[in-house]
Amino acid sequence: MSNLNKRILTAFPLSILAVYAIYNNVILTLSLYIISAILIFEISNILKNIFKRNKINSFIFLNLFILYICLFATQIYFFLSDESENKQTVFLFILSICIFTDIGGYIFGKTLKGKKITSISPNKTYAGMVGSFVCSLIISIIFISYFNLSINLVFFTFLISLISQLGDLFISYLKRKADIKDTGNFLPGHGGLLDRMDGMIFAIPIGIKIFVFF
């Protein structure tokens, strides 16, 4: 089975679970606990490899990451638990931008290849970057049309897609420093959970903040 097929088969049940979690507080709570625990476990392995000779630095950065993930999970929980209208649609919108940013980067990058963006992640190409923006824009236009949202959200889409890509590069940089390919093997065809959520853990909180305050 090809890597792309594994990705699709893995992503399908996860997408269904994500939708259920968005509309059910019990599933949401359990999902956030499990996701947080896995992300912390995977980043701890990365930090151990980076700071092999300095356990104090590893401990400090791990605790900072734990704090960030706790804030990340808490923000999602309170946002989706709020009684305000369309909160699920907003979250699905942000989540979809992140997912299609990843899909676009993978498909365009693998198909068109081309010049590498940076040595941090040799799989990241300019074609993949363009594909990330294109696919995220397509899904945002579908959302805007179907839910009758403001056309100004097109600019929001580019911002969230950019943050998601930068988050991806940041985690890729950490993996390169740790000399590992994947953060784990939790998801067949994807690697670890952090491999797939690297952009989301940065883009989703910022996206929520933008919607709440603006």
C-alpha to C-alpha distance for 167 and 92, rounded to whole angstroms? 19
Decide which of 93 and 213 is more confident: 93
Using left for φ > 0, alpha for ψ between -120 and 50, and beta otherwise, residue 86 falls in left
Q: Is the confidence at residue 193, as pLDDT, over 50?
A: yes
Q: What is the pLDDT of residues 89-112, one digit of tens each?
A: 999 999 999 999 988 998 898 888
The count of structural domains within the chain is 1
Do 157 and 100 contact (CB within 8 A), yes or no? no
What's residue 11's pLDDT? 65
- Which domain range does residue 125 map to? 3-213
Q: Is the confidence at residue 127, as pLDDT, over 80?
A: yes
142-181 as b/e: b if 16+ CB within 10 A: ebbeeeebeeebeebbeebbbbbbebbbbbbebbeebebe
What's residue 1's pLDDT? 46
In the numeric block, the tokens 């059910």 are attached to 24
CA distances from 64 to 101, 152, 179 (A): 27, 35, 21
Q: What is the mean pLDDT of the chain?
A: 88
What's residue 4's pLDDT? 58
What's residue 9's pLDDT? 65
C-alpha to C-alpha distance for 115 and 127, rounded to whole angstroms? 8
Q: Is the confidence at residue 186, as pLDDT, over 60?
A: yes
Q: What is the pLDDT of residues 147-158, one digit of tens each?
A: 988 888 999 999
Q: Is the confidence at residue 45, as pLDDT, over 70?
A: yes
Quick one: average pLDDT of 7-36? 83
Q: Is the confidence at residue 171, as pLDDT, over 90?
A: yes
What's residue 185's pLDDT? 77
User: pTM for the whole thing?
Assistant: 0.90
In the numeric block, the tokens 């979690």 are attached to 21
